[in-house]
Structure 1
Amino acid sequence: MIKSTIDANELKLYSIIVFKQLAMDASKPEQQFDAVQAARKLLSSDKNPPINEVIQSGMLPILVECLRNHNRPLLQFEAAWALTNIASGTSDQTNQVVGAGAVPVFVQLLGAPAERLREQAVWALGNIIGDSPLLCSFAVNHGVVQPLLSFAKLDTKLSLLQIVVWAIVNLCRSKGQSLPTGNIHEILNALNVLVDHTDTNILVDTVWATSYLTDGGSERIQMVIESGVVPKLIPLLGSGEVKVQIAALRAVVNIVSGSDDQAQVVLNCGALYYITVLLSHPDLNIRKNAVWFLSNVAAGNQAQLQAIINMGLVPQIIENLRSVHFKMQTVASWAVSNAILIGNREQVYTLIKEGVVAPFCDILSCQDTPVIMIVLEALDNMLKSVADSDVKTVANLVAQCGGLAKIESLLDHQAEEIHTRAQDIIDQYFTD
């Protein structure tokens, strides 16, 4: 007797084909529901869900058609769940769901009477929005923003609100480029409400969404400022949750990268008091972003640089020049360079008196050409900034800490701009 076997994948594919045939027949509602539910369960499996097999079977249009059946909310829910699982797959799989016409139906279901159906629609749309700026724009053009924001209230059920805020983050993730100005204003109004929520996950996502919107240039930064959310962001720098601190810090770093006036809004809210503490934070990423914040402020105007000096933060910037982490050294180098470029003579003297020269010159030993150029230009600017009678004294400081030897070694650097700048500095300040 010859026994035949069937591969598990073949059995799964056969089952999908059967489910598809049964799901097509709306004249047998119980059979149709069971078939859609069975397909959903297959797609919900933890290991290797048969997403491609379902797509290749031609079942997507049937699931979308079930999604449209407003007289059968249980069937809609199973179809929505199945489509959500497919949309959570690869970008191509997500596009297949969109191509089957699911987006406008999901947007419509945001207003469905059944709460769990609304929640499933948010999940699906969040996956689609988060796939790419193109699909985000597609969903926005189909009117997803306003019905999504209708749930952005402090009294919304926690499980639903967490998904809603996650979807809002996805809307904002590409710097809000997929969003018309009117939608950005609406989102910011919602974020200004949600930033008061007590749930940590909602708060973190709310602040990240705000941060993404601040990463779109001065115009976007101004919209964030005008929303009134900035005074609420600053105290979050002192949160007991590191996740909240990082998100808030990224937002304010972006804001102070804007105009001087925009940076001043953050300073007026007392941000430097929190930055003072964050510069000693055990988390390296937080310390790096705190120095980055100071670098952006130092690039503003002399009054803003003086605020940094008055807070006693220059020694902490210099300390980070000595960090064993090169990325931290790089950010600190930018902060010093900006301060020297913007600062008046007295402010440059303050940097020198605080001991910036030696650790700054040490950076010249790195292998990063752009960073070496930053330091060379800053040293040149420093020597130009001091009084003529002090040039030799400062040049001696550079020489005594080994800075001159490092500059001389750069005369053989492969980058022309490096060895040219090194030669210029030697000729101007170190030739008798």
Structure 2
Amino acid sequence: RSTMACAEARLSRFNKLGDPAKLREKRIAMCVKLRKDQKNEHIMKRRTITLSSLSDKEALSEDSPFKEQISCTSLEDIVRDVNSDSIPSQIRGCQAARKLLSERDSSINEIINAGLLSCFVAFLSMDDEPTLQFEAVWVLTNITSGTSWHTKRVMDHGAVPAFISLLSSPMLHISEQAVWAVSNIAGDGPMYRDVLIACNAIPALLACISPDTPLDFLHNLAWTLSNLCRSKNPYLPGSVVQQMLPSLIMFLHLSDKNILSQVCWAFCYLSDGENNRIEVVLRTGIIPRLMELLNHEDTYVMVVIDAGCLEVLPKLLRHSKSSVQKEAAWALSNIAAGPSKQIQQLINCGLFAPLVELLRSGYFKSQREAVWVVKNITIRGTMDQMIFVIRIGALEAIIRLLQVPDAKVVMVILDTINNLVMAAEKSGETEGVCRLIKELGGFAHIEMLQNHENVVLRKAASYLLDKCTEVSSRPFTPPKVQAAGQLSVGKLP
């Protein structure tokens, strides 16, 4: 094709990307689906467990009932043993029921229909028979891992107060198993969650957290708190949130990836709602820690943070308080400083519409942080991502800010435009980009900056104006650029 045809084809990329609103709606829908899929993989109920606290001599001994190899037993045998007056038989019946429940889902209905729930719940109060107590709570935990109807049947038999009582058991493995049962109930929705709250489950759960609590036990506790936070309609009461926040903040500063992923989901759930809910989370001061975790070595932790942060940030960028806007823009700039796939998440989640609004009419301190978002994208983003940012209005917005009296902000904007021109030169988009800069009034503003009182700004403006004029008037050749595309004009005094 001719040079003119190639130029027109490149320029058309800026004009024929489709309706931005429709494209953004499609991307947001896809992003929401991906996030839901990832959440569903971390389902709120679990059955297969490994208890961290089975380190008691009893649990580790060769004759431990926990290590007993249970032979296949019929449902009739289980019913007979569970209903007997012999403790060893009752233990054997519970173990057989637990094994049956772990093998097939349909067995939950069989156990319930056999009328065994009342026996299992009664065994929970037998403090002088910890083995039977443990096996019973394990069986009931497996039943609550089923449907909401299964969970309701367990609750209807009075298991909730018994579970909460067992949270303070001196036998750590019993306490941990009770946490598992409570978490399964909490994962069944706000109605069951509120039953737990009414039975004082929160203080009992928080009392399990201590410097001596095993790490895996802490993970189970973090998972339980996350399940308590996730339900809405209605949301978790504010008084309960205040009870839980100190422990959630403590969990957020641990290094275990499993705990981190659960507590990040908890904060995601807590901040999903009106501004007053978001402000509660902001007041905890966790945003810097969340930004640190964006670089976590475990990708699942990073995905959780992205999902939580990106879901909240649009609301924060439009917040009425300037301090909240500023913090949100700062957080966004940190995310935009990551790899291009991270930048793509910002685009997919529709974050640039509120960002451009902020650049156009936000508080100046917020605008100053927002400018850094655009600059970081011109450093780490792909050309297609830069084109999207241009099309949605970010380039026009930062060009208007070239008139602000803050020399540092103006320098960042000039550096951003320079990065954009250099990226365009590498990909053959120079003509389209420079024409847009000119049409948006960029050249006129840059020309005026050549008379700025700040010497460094004058040099930067002249350098950029000459470069734009030069690269837009000659055929593309591989440029000799400096590292990261920075202007070689020194630092501002």
TM-score using structure 1 length: 0.67
Is 1:44 paired with 2:106? no
Is 1:289 paired with 2:289? no
> Aligned residue for 2:400?
346
Separation in 1 of the partners of 2:235 and 2:377?
A: 42
Note the alpha carbon deviations across 1:139-158, whole angstroms, 9 max, x for none: 22222112112234454201
> Aligned residue for 1:251?
308
Contact map agreement 1:68 1:76 (CA 8 A) in 2: yes
Shift of 1:58: 1.0
Pick from 293, 302, 308 the counterpart of residue 370 of structure 2: 308
> Aligned residue for 1:16?
75
Contact map agreement 1:70 1:76 (CA 8 A) in 2: yes
> Aligned residue for 1:196?
253
Contact map agreement 2:261 2:300 (CA 8 A) in 1: yes
Is 1:68 paired with 2:125? yes
Separation in 2 of the partners of 1:306 and 1:216?
A: 27
Note the alpha carbon deviations across 1:87-129, whole angstroms, 9 max, x for none: 1112222222222221111111111111010111011111111
Q: Which runs of 5+ in 2 are unaligned?
A: 1-71, 404-412, 422-439, 445-493
Separation in 1 of the partners of 2:171 and 2:311?
A: 40
Greater Cα offset, 139-148 or 288-297: 288-297
Note the alpha carbon deviations across 1:58-78, whole angstroms, 9 max, x for none: 111111111122221111100
Q: Structure 1 residues 200, 345: closer, same or farther in 2, change over 3 A?
A: closer
Is 1:262 paired with 2:324? yes
Note the alpha carbon deviations across 1:25-45, whole angstroms, 9 max, x for none: 3x3222222222221221122
Q: Which has the higher contact order (CA 8 A, sep 6+)?
A: 2
Note the alpha carbon deviations across 1:328-372, whole angstroms, 9 max, x for none: 99xx68x9658599x588159989x869xxxxxxxxxxxxxxxxx
Contact map agreement 1:84 1:127 (CA 8 A) in 2: yes
Q: Secondary structure at the match of 1:238?
A: coil
Q: Structure 1 residues 96, 178: closer, same or farther in 2, change over 3 A?
A: farther
Q: Structure 1 residues 19, 322: closer, same or farther in 2, change over 3 A?
A: same
Separation in 1 of the partners of 2:402 and 2:156?
A: 61
How many residue pairs match? The answer is: 335
Q: Secondary structure at the match of 2:187?
A: helix
Shift of 1:319: 6.6
> Aligned residue for 2:23?
none
Q: Which amino acid aligns with 1:271?
A: A
Q: Which amino acid aligns with 2:346?
A: A
Is 1:277 paired with 2:337? yes
> Aligned residue for 1:101?
158
Shift of 1:133: 2.2
Q: Structure 1 residues 196, 179: closer, same or farther in 2, change over 3 A?
A: same
Separation in 2 of the partners of 1:316 and 1:177?
A: 43
Q: Which amino acid aligns with 1:19?
A: I
Q: Structure 1 residues 264, 308: closer, same or farther in 2, change over 3 A?
A: closer
Q: Structure 1 residues 316, 139: closer, same or farther in 2, change over 3 A?
A: farther
Shift of 1:176: 9.0
Contact map agreement 2:294 2:302 (CA 8 A) in 1: yes
Q: Secondary structure at the match of 1:198?
A: coil
> Aligned residue for 1:207?
264
Q: CA RMSD in A?
A: 3.7
Separation in 2 of the partners of 1:33 and 1:318?
A: 62
Separation in 2 of the partners of 1:264 and 1:255?
A: 14
Contact map agreement 1:195 1:207 (CA 8 A) in 2: yes
Note the alpha carbon deviations across 1:213-246, whole angstroms, 9 max, x for none: 1112211111112223223222112222222222
